[in-house]
Amino acid sequence: MERDRERLAEAMKWFREAYQHQMRGELDEAVRLYTRSIETYPTAEGYTFRGWTYSFQGRIDEAIEECKKAIEVDPTFGNPYNDIGAYLVEQDRLDEAIPWLEKALVALRYESYCFPHVNLGRVYERKKMFAKALEHYQDALEENPQHLGARQAVARLRGMSN
């Protein structure tokens, strides 16, 4: 038990360092450090963020696989569900994205349900289901009134109906 706590603490140290490199655009180093974190102690965060880094490198299929590994480690963590949905939206696989984004909305451990709402809004807007898109953008604003993209989308869709 104590050894697991020590390994987790070390993994989180590598994770934080990887995140700093990722934010500086040092993606290869970020991948290396996320990998070291995962090898030390696999976490849903480690897999999800390594996947996010892969997405910055254009490695979308690998990013999706990383998110699936994250879900295996912790199915309550919402980020990988949203990320898979967002990656599928980027690939214009809209119908495939919907169930992943809906799972993100009911995930027990998620800091901002705003993101899956925005992504669902994007899906429904592309599908020309404007009322449903508007509903999700408004839900996103309820979660985070500062989200500029959601505010702009609401204004855009309301403007279309005038």
Q: Are residues 52 and 116 in the same domain?
A: no
| Tens of pLDDT, residue by residue, the chain (162 residues) | 888 899 999 999 999 999 999 999 999 999 999 999 999 999 999 999 999 999 999 999 999 999 999 999 999 999 999 999 999 999 999 999 999 999 999 999 998 899 999 999 999 999 999 999 999 999 999 999 999 999 999 999 998 876
Instruction: Tell me the CB-side half-sphere exposure of residue 28, using CA atoms within 13 A.
Output: 0
What does the pLDDT read at residue 162? 63
Domain count, the chain: 2
For 80, counting Cβ atoms within 10 Å of its Cβ (0-12 exposed, 13-18 middle, 19+ buried), the class is: buried
SS3 21: helix
Q: Are residues 133 and 94 in the same domain?
A: no
Q: How many angstroms separate the most distant Cα atoms in the chain?
A: 62
Tens of pLDDT along 76-97?
999 999 999 999 999 999 999 9
- The domain in which residue 35 lies consists of 1-110
Q: Are residues 87 and 134 in the same domain?
A: no
The CATH number for 56's domain is: 1.25.40.10
Cα Rg of the chain (Å, integer): 17
Rounded to an integer, what is the distance from CA 128 to the centroid of its chain? Answer: 24
